[in-house]
């Protein structure tokens, strides 16, 4: 303790605590984002205005359809012919909800999307939530959409 009180310098060693704080947080950010970036599934959802907020929750099932019409179940590539079987494993049993999120590329032909919707409906999905991006600087005209559920 006596060593720090030396001459004119009050503290000789640099204070590294803020740097470590920032580094740790950056590390956490990268740990969260990198798997999402490298997931391989990229689809640009269409844009819309009157959308219902669906905060992401544990246990949500997301069907992705990329610009080539390939299917991804929760970001894992699946063979197109396996769609019914894999979705059926999840939905053809007791569940709290029968909602599936569908994130499809905006320039896809609609037939490919209806085709997927038809097939997951046979596997027990009742509601398909078509993921859409909010057009910047717009707000939903529907009153109930403006209350963000789960916002903290």
Partner 1 sequence: MSMSAPSGGSSLNNDMNVTPMIDVLLVLLIIFMMIIPMSRKAIDTQLPDPTPQPPSTQVNPDQIVLEVLPDDKYAVNKEPIEKAMLLEKLKAIYDPRPEKIIFVKGDTTVKYSAVIWAMDQARGAGVKVIGVPPK
CB of 64 to partner 1, least distance (A): 13
Using an 8 Å Cβ cutoff, are 128 and 100 in contact?
yes
Map residues 92-131 to x or -, x wherever contact with partner 1 holds by CB under 8 A.
Answer: -------x-x--xxxxxxxxxxxx-xx-xxx--xxxxxxx
**β-sheet with 99-104: strand ranges across:** 76-78, 71-73, 62-65, 99-104
CA distance 89 to 109: 27
Which of 48, 85, 89, 146 touches partner 1 by CB under 8 A? 48
Using an 8 Å Cβ cutoff, are 62 and 90 in contact?
no
Map residues 3-32 to x or -, x wherever contact with partner 1 holds by CB under 8 A.
Answer: --x----xx---x-xx--xx--xx--x---
CB of 3 to partner 1, least distance (A): 13
- Report which DSSP code applies to 96: S
Using an 8 Å Cβ cutoff, are 137 and 94 in contact?
no
Task: Kindly list the residues in this chain that would bind partner 1 in the complex (CB under 8 A).
Answer: 5, 10-11, 15, 17-18, 21-22, 25-26, 29, 33, 46-56, 99, 101, 104-115, 117-118, 120-122, 125-134, 140-142, 148, 151
């Amino acid at each position: 303790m006596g060593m720090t009180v030396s001459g004119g310098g009050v503290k000789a060693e640099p204070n590294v605590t803020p740097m470590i704080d920032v580094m740790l947080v950056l590390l956490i950010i990268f740990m969260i984002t990198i798997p999402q970036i490298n997931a391989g599934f990229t689809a640009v959802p269409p844009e819309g205005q009157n959308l219902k907020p669906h905060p992401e929750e544990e246990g949500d099932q997301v069907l992705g359809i990329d610009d080539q019409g390939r299917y991804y179940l929760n970001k894992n590539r699946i063979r197109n012919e396996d769609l019914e079987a894999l979705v059926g494993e999840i939905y053809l049993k007791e569940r709290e909800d029968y909602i599936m999120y569908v994130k499809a590329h905006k320039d896809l032909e609609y037939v490919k999307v209806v085709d997927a919707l038809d097939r997951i409906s046979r596997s027990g999905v009742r509601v398909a939530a078509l993921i859409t991006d909010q057009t910047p600087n717009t707000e939903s005209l529907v009153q109930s959409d403006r209350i963000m559920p789960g916002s903290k």
